């Protein structure tokens, strides 16, 4: 026990001695100064609580945007470039961080800019010589290529909207698809597709109708007014009459939907326009024949009639 007391007394004397206290205080001050200096350095190095607002760079030329960023102590870097039809090159399209965001000094602003030359894409080939338009459209969309239906053609043996022809820049490229047709990203490819409904309509009888009435009838038939030729007597088209039309009217004549009807006008009501008693000499029988589909339907009706009689 006496030894323990002696050890305890010596420790107490050491801790309360002047030299220990001076050394302890010196070490404490040194550590405190180091921590203070480290805190100040970290505050300066990280710009603690000091942030700057990011400007709106979208829509600016890249060089101008970069200069503005550097004026705010930011740097700028291009991460991607995209071709946009009608957009001049080197225009900022997107930025990160976004405008009005608060960031620290020396932050890098990443931007996407426009480019002058479009990417070149290869059109997919058709499956077995034909393909569904809407499936093909989705493939083109993934490549950044737009699609448009140029026209439709009647095909009774094909599914609706089967691709018949592929057109690019006014040229039929269907036969070239196997070799790979190159198109520009953002461009439009046109298609001729099938439809199972007939696109023909009867030729309307327009002779002796007023011009405004004829226009209304033509639109109802899903046709278009073509060239309109006035004779010397015409002073007001609104009250003028149809003297002649091309194609001529007959009971069996047909036209494709969307085709044009050419009209010849005269100011006075033509002769032979009383009721349905038209001037026979002015009406020609068209050389057009019923379509193969119509003939088939007619033959079917005759066969059905014969079957009924024999029954």
pLDDT digits (tens, 9 = 90+) for 224-256: 999 999 999 999 998 999 999 999 999 889 988
Out of 1.10.3720.10, 3.40.50.2300, 3.40.50.150, 3.30.10.20, which CATH number does the structure's domain 120-195 have?
3.30.10.20
pLDDT at 130: 61
Domain with residues 53-114, CATH architecture: 2-Layer Sandwich (3.30)
Higher pLDDT, 260 or 47: 260
List of residues 6+ apart from 105 with CB closer than 8 A: 47, 50, 52, 73, 74
**Which three-class secondary structure state does DSSP give residue 123?**
coil
pLDDT digits (tens, 9 = 90+) for 170-225: 999 999 998 889 998 888 999 999 877 667 889 999 999 999 999 999 988 888 99
pLDDT digits (tens, 9 = 90+) for 285-311: 333 344 444 444 444 434 444 443 444
Mean pLDDT of the chain: 81
Residue 311 burial (C-beta neighbours within 10 Å; 0-12, 13-18, 19+): exposed
Residue 187 burial (C-beta neighbours within 10 Å; 0-12, 13-18, 19+): middle
Out of 3.40.50.300, 3.30.420.40, 3.40.1160.10, 3.30.10.20, which CATH number does the structure's domain 200-293 have?
3.30.10.20
User: Measuring CA to CA, which residue among 301, 209, 204, 305 is closest to residue 259?
Assistant: 204
Intrachain domains 53-114 and 200-293 with the same fold: yes
Q: Is the dihedral of CA 3, 7, 10, 16 positive or negative?
A: negative
Q: Residue 261: pLDDT above 90? A: yes
Give the pTM. 0.40
Q: Residue 133: pLDDT above 50? A: yes
For the chain, which residues make up each domain, given as ranges? Answer: 53-114, 120-195, 200-293
Q: How big is the chain by its Cα radius of gyration, in Å?
A: 43
| Residue with the two structure tokens 């997107």 | 94
């Amino acid at each position: 026990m006496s030894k323990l007391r002696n050890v305890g007394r010596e420790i107490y004397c050491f801790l309360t001695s002047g030299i220990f206290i001076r050394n302890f205080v010196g070490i404490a001050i040194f550590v405190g100064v180091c921590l203070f200096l480290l805190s100040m350095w970290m505050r300066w190095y990280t710009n603690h609580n000091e942030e700057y607002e990011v400007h709106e760079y979208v829509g600016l030329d890249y060089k101008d945007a970069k200069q503005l960023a550097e004026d705010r102590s930011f740097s700028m870097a291009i991460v991607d470039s995209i071709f946009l039809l009608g957009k001049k090159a080197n225009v900022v399209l997107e930025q990160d961080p976004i405008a009005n965001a608060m960031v620290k000094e020396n932050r890098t602003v990443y931007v996407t800019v426009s480019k002058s030359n479009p990417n070149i894409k290869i059109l997919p080939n058709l499956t077995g010589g034909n393909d569904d338009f809407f499936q093909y459209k989705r493939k083109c969309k993934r490549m950044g290529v737009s699609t448009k239906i140029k026209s439709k053609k009647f095909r009774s043996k094909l599914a609706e909207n089967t691709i018949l022809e592929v057109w690019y820049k006014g040229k039929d490229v269907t036969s070239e698809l196997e070799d790979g047709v190159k198109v520009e990203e953002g461009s439009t490819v046109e298609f001729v597709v099938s439809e199972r409904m007939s696109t023909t309509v009867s030729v309307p009888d327009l002779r002796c109708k007023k011009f405004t009435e004829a226009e209304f009838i033509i639109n109802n038939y899903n046709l278009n007014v073509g060239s309109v030729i006035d004779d010397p007597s015409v002073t007001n088209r609104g009250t003028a009459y149809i003297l002649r039309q091309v194609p001529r009217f007959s009971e069996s004549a047909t036209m494709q939907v969307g085709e044009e009807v050419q009209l010849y006008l005269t100011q006075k009501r033509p002769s032979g326009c009383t009721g349905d008693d038209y001037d026979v000499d002015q009406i020609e029988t068209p050389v057009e024949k019923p379509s193969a589909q119509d003939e088939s339907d007619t033959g079917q009706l005759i066969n059905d009639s014969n079957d009924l009689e024999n029954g």
